[in-house]
A and B are shown apart, each in its own frame.
Chain A
Amino acid sequence: MTMTRLTRGAWAAPGTSLEFKTGNWRSTERPVHAHAKAPCHAACPAGEDQQAWFAKLQEGQPQQAWRALVHANPLPAITGRVCPHPCETACNRAALDGALAIHNVERWLGDEAVARGWAYPVDTPAPDAPRVAIVGAGPGGLSAAYHCVRLGLNAALFEAAPEAGGLLRSAIPPTRLPRDTLDAELGRLLALPGITLNLRARLGRDVTLDGLRDAFGAVILSPGCELPKPWSVRGAVPADLHDGLHLLRDFMDHGALPDAARGDVIVHGGGNTAMDICRIMKRAGANRVTLITASALPGPNTARDDLINVVPRELEEALEEGIEVIEHATVSRLIMKGSRVTGVEIVSLRKEPGPDGRKRRVEFEGTERVLPVDMVVPCVGEQVSPDGFEGVLDGAYFWPDDAWGRLREDGVFAIGDARGNRGTVAAAIGDGRLAAQAVAARLLGGDAPVADLRPERGVAGLNTAYYPAMRRTAVAKLPVAKRGFETEIEGGLSRAEAMAEAERCLSCGNCLACDNCWTMCPDSAVIKTVEAATDGSHYVFDLDYCKGCGLCAQECPTGYIQMVAETG
């Protein structure tokens, strides 16, 4: 090594400061790229990473966005219509200028994929790949079949009904989910090589669980909840009782309702089925439809756990259509003329914390009042039809031990509504994916799937100075007068609208490639490089020079850069 010699007048050569590693100055903290879950992703029962597919839309690549979406959820045209979208409730943008219209964009992507014939990003499983039996071809079973194929397994669906779709077909009216949309998306999924669909194959009648366990590598149970929960008021049950689920099925099969439905109707319950039957009965000519619910309508002071559990826009449309809602109430007595109901007594109630800390329902004495009715429709939930599941069911539902749906019976998994604490199409789709992952690990080897424990990046972790205000795109709706039984009520987005809405995504917890860190590092310690960053970001930190000032983390819009304690 040659010795440094003094130059004339002590001039120095350009850029030689690189010899001085200012990274040594960093004493307490250094920046890291920390992928965090965007709240939409964390809230999605289907496990979609909405932020990830919005990023592709922001790059102008809808097909890539769809591919990222169907990595988790193969049925976006369907969920884009029926999902209560907890993603939007969680969206950080709600605190700025309104949550992203994630639901509408998802529907646009799903429709676009169908219209353009984009192929699912899955390979055909080997013919001798392990085979998985899936009981029930509702959204959970279809998702499980899709993910089995995606992971290299063959899937055989056993469906009791003559058509696939489960409650998508039996309980969701075409005004919410047009049948051509349903058929198109299901058809594409079922056409995937590796999936076989056995219709009219009911467990306990046509096949048995033991038989499936013998013939297949694993069995995923996705029967859904076909039976209404038993309903009575202090032992009284009207002779002409019609539960909401059956009414809905009958109406969709035959287009007819009982005569009593022309008068004053009380619907007792608080879920999407209740909402659907309210609206159908009203449109079919009921004089007056009143929903009695123990929960509350949305309001500025409504607690999250008190809120009525329906798709918000369905509620909004129902109110537009003249459905009346009595919140915080329950049916306390039936007033009968013979075996026919002529009135109900209702009473106010609230969920109050009990001595054990859990909330319980408390009816308030003295608040009773009587409403004259022609028909009472209970709609208080559904349960699994037990045929063929003897010994496996635990009460009315399956209660697996973990998120992957493992039951105590080896190689048997349970998913979807049949788990008892699910309740949405998206949750069933998510369950299908998780169960397929566990099954694939079991049958193909490899590590068992683990939970994603990344932190969630809330709005407090963002620097919102960098986001332009952009109003949420509104979609058109059929006017009340034109709403019938077939035409879809809610309109869709145009391509331009979808792409504009995508621009509103804040990219919470994930790199936006905005250049802020690169532009604002006083020490040139952020290197811009799309190709070389191994963590999916567009930049790397040059820790040889980073002094740990924290400016990049402070000015990162998305909270993707975090300062962490120096180790060692």
Chain B
Amino acid sequence: MVQDSTRLNGLRAKHGRPPAGPHEPQAAPSTLRQGQPRFRGLEAGHRACQGCGEALAARIVMENAGPDVMVANATGCLEVFTTPWPQSAWRVPWMHSLFENAAAIASGMEAALKARGRNTKVLAFGGDGGTYDIGFQALSGMLERHHDVLYVCYDNEAYMNTGIQRSSSTPHAASTTTSPAGKERMGKRHLKKDLLSIIAAHHIPYAASASVAYPADLARKVRYAMGIEGPTFLVVHSPCPLGWRHASALTVEVARRAVECGLFPLVELERGALTNIMPIRTPRPVVDYLELQGRFAHLFDETDTRAIEERDHLQALADHNILTYGLAGTGDDPVDTTGIAHVRRGGPLAERT
């Protein structure tokens, strides 16, 4: 243990130091950037689109998980925009192999660390495509084998990197390039997969959903998961301005409304049991969420009865979530959807209380 803490302190002292790299010596990063009172696990200069929810989520995850971590990252936007050779935005050991094997790579990392007597925590990152769909088997295997890995799914509800194709996480009725709205179709015909329930059914210590709209809550969940030895899972709702077709400035607002309307419930499950939820202080109508996004624009043709029906369907799905998880708030709660966002001079209110 002494050895570990010494090593960790060494690491903490070190992060931010310009690395000895394979290419030309860099200008030292500005002192201001170096002096940031948080771990810059995901550095600036990455090539995410303007207002990228995934970049925001990953940055917050890294701040709260690092520095003594290593990452297995599935193919996807996050991988592509952070690591165009010869540059990398990461300040932790990080590896990308394939689309569908992040959980297995992470399993291997964890096995190697265990074999070599190291305490570095392994993280696995994937998008919804790499998690809900193509990487699902490897993820299930990793959870079943009880690897000490925190898997984070950045859920932007479609295959954004490949061109906005529908995934099993795409919400019902959303228009994507492979579930386009047209004369015969109102976007995706199927439902969003309830991945979290499936994950929780593995009886793992901790599985939770979070949102970029609530950084304090996301940070808490990351730190909580980091403290658990064994498999843990986080799905983070991460709006994609390009794929969802909303203004880049509205990323957090869109994410907030998704939670407030009930379509993206924020819940925590331990050993399969629901142990915590973020209550919704004032549930919003689903249309408040839908109307900000071009992917649901076809639902706002008032002359089309199918559009009205699908809006009602989405409202019913949201209501179902609220009922199933008991999301309706009962009075003001400092950590409900309204309270958790509050700030005061000097920072988030939640950090003070």
Contacts and interface: CB of A to CB of B under 8 A. Distances in A.
A contacts B: CB pair < 8 Å: yes
Interface of A: 1-5, 7, 10-22, 25, 55, 58-59, 465-469, 503, 507, 512-516, 519-525, 527-529, 532, 540, 542, 544-545, 547-551, 553-555, 557, 563
B89 A522 contact: no
A524 B45 CA distance: 8
A548 B46 CA distance: 14
B343 A515 contact: yes
Interface of B: 18-24, 26, 29-30, 32-33, 35-37, 40, 42-53, 55-56, 59-60, 82-92, 212, 215, 241, 247-253, 256, 332, 338-339, 341-349
11 contacts: A14-B88, A15-B18, A19-B26, A59-B345, A465-B338, A468-B342, A524-B59, A532-B32, A545-B45, A548-B50, A550-B247
A465 B248 CA distance: 18
A514 B46 contact: no
A12 B85 contact: yes
A13 B253 contact: no
A321 B91 CA distance: 71
Nearest to A21: B45
Given A16-B23, A18-B29, A520-B56, A514 B47 contact: no
B43 A17 contact: yes
A326 B22 CA distance: 87
A30 B344 CA distance: 25
B87 to A, nearest CB: 4
Nearest to A520: B252
Contacts of A515: 343, 347-348
A547 B50 contact: yes
Given A4-B24, A18-B26, A547-B50, A524 B249 contact: no
Given A7-B22, A17-B88, A523-B55, A512 B343 contact: yes
A530 to B, nearest CB: 10
Given A4-B22, A516-B343, A545-B44, 13 more contacts: A12-B85, A14-B92, A16-B88, A22-B46, A58-B346, A512-B344, A514-B345, A515-B347, A524-B40, A528-B36, A542-B44, A549-B50, A549-B52
Interface of B is mostly: loop
Nearest to B60: A519
B248 A551 contact: yes
Given A503-B344, A551-B251, A13 B35 contact: no
A13 B88 contact: yes
Nearest to A2: B24
A469 B88 contact: no
B87 A16 contact: yes
Contact of A551 (B20, B47, B249, B338): B249
Given A14-B91, A15-B29, A20 B215 contact: no
B345 A58 contact: yes
Contacts of B90: 14-15
B48 A528 contact: no
Nearest to B29: A18
B44 A17 contact: yes
A19 B23 CA distance: 11
B232 to A, nearest CB: 23
B49, B50, B212, B346: which has the most chain A beta carbons within 10 Å?
Answer: B50
A13 B25 CA distance: 11
Given A58-B344, A515-B347, A553-B249, A13 B22 contact: yes
A15 B52 contact: no
A10 B23 CA distance: 11
A553 to B, nearest CB: 7
Contacts of A525: 44
B141 to A, nearest CB: 26
Contacts of B48: 522-523
A550 B45 CA distance: 17
A5 B22 contact: yes
Contacts of B50: 25, 547-550
B87 A466 contact: no
Nearest to A548: B50
Nearest to A533: B32
A514 B247 contact: no
Given A520-B252, A524-B43, A528-B37, A4 B51 contact: no
Nearest to B25: A2
Q: Which 3 A-B pairs have the closest CB atoms?
A: A13-B21, A550-B249, A17-B45
A467 B251 CA distance: 19
A515 B52 CA distance: 19
Nearest to A505: B345
Contacts of B60: 519
Contact of B341 (A11, A18, A465, A547): A465
Nearest to B249: A550
Contacts of B88: 12-17
A519 B351 CA distance: 13
Contacts of A468: 339, 342, 344, 349
A551 B19 contact: no
A522 B20 CA distance: 26
A513 B249 CA distance: 20
A20 B248 contact: no
B56 A16 contact: no
A565 to B, nearest CB: 15
A546 B33 CA distance: 13
A1 B24 CA distance: 7
Contacts of B23: 2, 4-5, 13, 16
A522 B53 contact: yes
A550 B51 contact: yes
Contacts of B342: 466-468
Nearest to A29: B249
Nearest to B349: A468
A195 B84 CA distance: 71
A16 B86 contact: yes
A13 B344 contact: no
B51 A522 contact: yes
A19 B84 CA distance: 12
A59 B44 CA distance: 31
Nearest to B82: A17
Contacts of A466: 341-343
A513 B59 contact: no
Contacts of A524: 33, 40, 42-44, 59
A87 B92 CA distance: 52
B256 A465 contact: yes
A13 B20 contact: yes
A54 to B, nearest CB: 9
A75 B7 CA distance: 60
Given A522-B52, A554-B249, A554-B252, A19 B345 contact: no
Contact of B21 (A3, A16, A503): A16
B51 A17 contact: no
Contacts of A540: 32
A563 B248 CA distance: 13
Contact of A519 (B46, B51, B215): B215
Given A520-B56, A555-B252, A513 B347 contact: yes
A429 B175 CA distance: 62
Contacts of A548: 50
